[in-house]
Each structure stands twice: as structure tokens, then as C-alpha cells.
Amino acid sequence: MSMFKGERGRGEDVDLVIQQLEEAVEILQLPETAFYLLSTPEREVRTRITIKMDNGEPAVFPAYRILWNSACGPGKGGLRFHPEETVGMIRKLAALMSWKTAVVGLPLGGAKGGVKCDVKRLSVSEKERICRQYVRRFYDVLGPRLDVPAPDVYVDSRMIGWMLDEYELRNGGKEPGVITGKPLELGGSSARFEATARGGVYVLRAAARRLGVELEGKTVAIQGYGNAGGHFHRLAEEILGLKIVAVSDSSGAIYNSHGLSASEIGQCKAETGSVIHWREADQMANWELLELDVDVLVPAALGDVITMENAESIKASMVLELANGPTTREADKILAERNITVLPDMLSSAGGVTVSYFEQVQNASNYYWPKKKVLTLLDQKMCEGLEKLMKMADKHGVDNRMAAYLVAVQKVYQAMVLRGWL
């Protein structure tokens, strides 16, 4: 594949993903031109957003939208507002979205967007001006048949409502399918805001059944207590009967061998800003939580937290990834050698984009489903994705993450061939 390697120049963030992609392409014995199309963005738009701050001073914010691959359908991927946002990170996440949508069999491609800004320092009116300017700057590349954003880091449903309104003002008509993660009143879907966590619960349940593992009463540690981690705590108790003994957020971790109640920890987090203020638990560092002697470990916050340095110390028999890229490739190999089952983020955290797809379908038909139907279809999609992954792992004798890559790459490659791109 030397012909194209010198042209990539994508940056360190995405190159970590490309290494795994290259391995998958070699296993599937795909042509070099396919690797080039799979490993480079289809469209990359970089610009700047200028607004007047509340004090009258101008401010400039770098902004991005990257479509990685649209062979399977319109782009789909979140929009992040983060003070340390980089184009390299956006590329990495856009590529991962291409594989994530393919693993669960959605007729979508992969994309990602971002604005480099510190939301915590912005007023409500300043955030609204940035949201509306983002839509104006990227209007030509967004649309239900082109590229559909969704909320990601520090972007909430209120901000999504502003962006929808701005798009429709420019479009001259109602177009709810242009963006997902909307409030229900603006055409959002039932179960959207718990979808990532619920999808992970369904994957864990299906994997346990396949492995002959009884989950009732098993212990769990959750690193990260944002939307995914918090909802997973509640749903794991309700649906699977799991006992969550440790949770954490950016301030630290807490542990209680007798279990932590989702309702009590959720209330503590809401009232004090952190789980560490719960008094009926011992405090520990986030890295210590990862190495607890539990049955299931759920990284639901940051990337690259399980590495070759701590992989030998992981004691959980199953790792369910709800964060993006929490396990490095080197750590993957160590965990596989130790017979630890890793349920990779490419599948386990795909519940959010799956329900976002359901939202698009409902927007297009102008008919909205009851929550029970959304959950039934989500369960079906996640289980189908797991089955395809497991069969691919058995066929090629690879770990689950590489199996996910093989499923995704094969699907996208076939779509490119059928379109005549190759």
C-alpha cells in the first residue's frame, strides 16, 4: 500500500484508526485503491465562525465538518463544542462513525463536526449565535440527503433546536430530518437520550447469553458518569439486575462493595456536581476503578484509558465500551490473550446513532413511533450487529474489535464497488 501512504497526512489522532483499518483491509485482501478511499475523507470543510460577544467584542472560533465516507448513505455524526478541538480528532471520529453505522447495518455514512470553543465560558445568547453561524457556514454541505449532524460533547437539545431553526429559515420550509437529537416537540425520537446506554445494555445481554453467562447479581464498575454512564447505571439495574459497585466522573471515583443505587448517585451528581460527594462509599482514583475486581468494566468517558501499561491489571472478565476508543490496540491484544471479552465501542456505543437513524425515518414519514417500538427495533439492531461481529471473529480468528472492523469495511467496500467507485 506504499503508493498512497505518503499522501495521507491526517495527523496522529486518525492514524491510530487507520492502522486498524489497514489490518482489516489486508485480512479481507482488498485492493490498494480501496484502502485509499477508506482511509481518506470524502469531503473536509474547515472555516471560522465570527460572532459579537455580549460585551460587544468580536470573537473567532475555528469550525469543522468532515464527511468520511458516504457509500452506504448520507453522512451521520455528532457535533462537538470543545476548547481543545482539533481537526485530527474530528477526522478520527468521522472515520469511526463510518464503521459504526456499517456494523449495525444502517444505510448511512460517517461524518463529524466541531467548533473550538469553551461552552462553559459562553452565555446562552453567545452559544445561540455560534450555533446559528455554524449552520450558515456549513449550510451547503448539510441536509437529510447529504450529512446529518447530532449532539455530541457540550451540545445539548436546546442548541440542536437553534440549529434546526436556522437551517429551516434558510431553506424556506420545514426540514426536521436535517439534524437529530431534537426535543420531542421539534420532531425528536422517544428514547434518544438514553439510546447509547440502552444499546450497550442490549449488547451486553446478548453477549452474555451467547457466552452462557448469567448477569443477575454480577458486579460492575463504570468509569464516567455523563449521559452514557449515568443512564447505563440505571438501566443495568432495571433490565439486567447488575450490581454497580463503583462509578466515577472527572473529579474521581467511589466504591461500595454492597452496591450503589442509580437513583441516589444520580441525585448526588445533580445536586453537588460530582459523584465523589456520596458519603456512603470509599473514594479512589479513576485509574484504580479500572483495576477493580469486578465482573464487568464499563469505560464510558475518555479514550485510551486501557493501555498496554494497565491491561495486565484489568480483572474484569468483560469490558463493555461506551466511550469512543477507550482501549488501545496494544491493550486489545493483551486482553484477548487473557481471555477477557471486549465488546468494542464500534458496536456497544452505536445505540445513539441507531436511534438517530430511527429519528430520521420518523421525520421523513412525519409519523412518530411509541417508545416500545423504538426499543424493540434498537434491541434487534444491536443483537444483529453482535451476531455479525461474533461470526466474523470466529471466521478469521481475530479479536472482537478487529471483527467489527472487518464487518464494517466489508460492507462499505461492497457499497463502493456497487456504486462503481472501484
Active site residues: 112
Question: Would you say 59 and 25 are in contact if contact means Cβ atoms under 8 Å apart?
Answer: no
Q: Which residue has the cell 470573537?
A: 59
Closest CA to 159 of 189, 177, 133, 140: 133
Distance CA 98, CA 75 (A): 8
Distance CA 243, CA 265 (A): 13
Query: What are the two backbone dihedrals, phi and then psi, of residue 192, each rounded to the nearest 5 degrees?
Result: -65, -40
Cross-strand partners of 296:
220, 318
Residue 408 CA: distances (Å) to CA of 88, 178, 301, 415: 21, 25, 24, 11
* Exposure class string for 310-326: b at 16+ Cβ within 10 A, else e: ebeebebbbbbbbbbbb
Closest CA to 22 of 42, 43, 41, 38: 38
Distance CA 374, CA 395 (A): 32
Query: What are the two backbone dihedrals, phi and then psi, of residue 30, each rounded to the nearest 5 degrees?
Result: -90, 155
Q: Coil, strand, or helix at residue 285?
A: coil
Distance CA 207, CA 17 (A): 25
- Computed over its alpha carbons, how large is the radius of gyration of the chain? 21
Q: Coil, strand, or helix at residue 246?
A: strand
Closest CA to 37 of 13, 11, 4: 4
Name 125's Cβ contacts closer than 8 Å, sequence gap at least 6: 54
Q: Coil, strand, or helix at residue 86?
A: coil
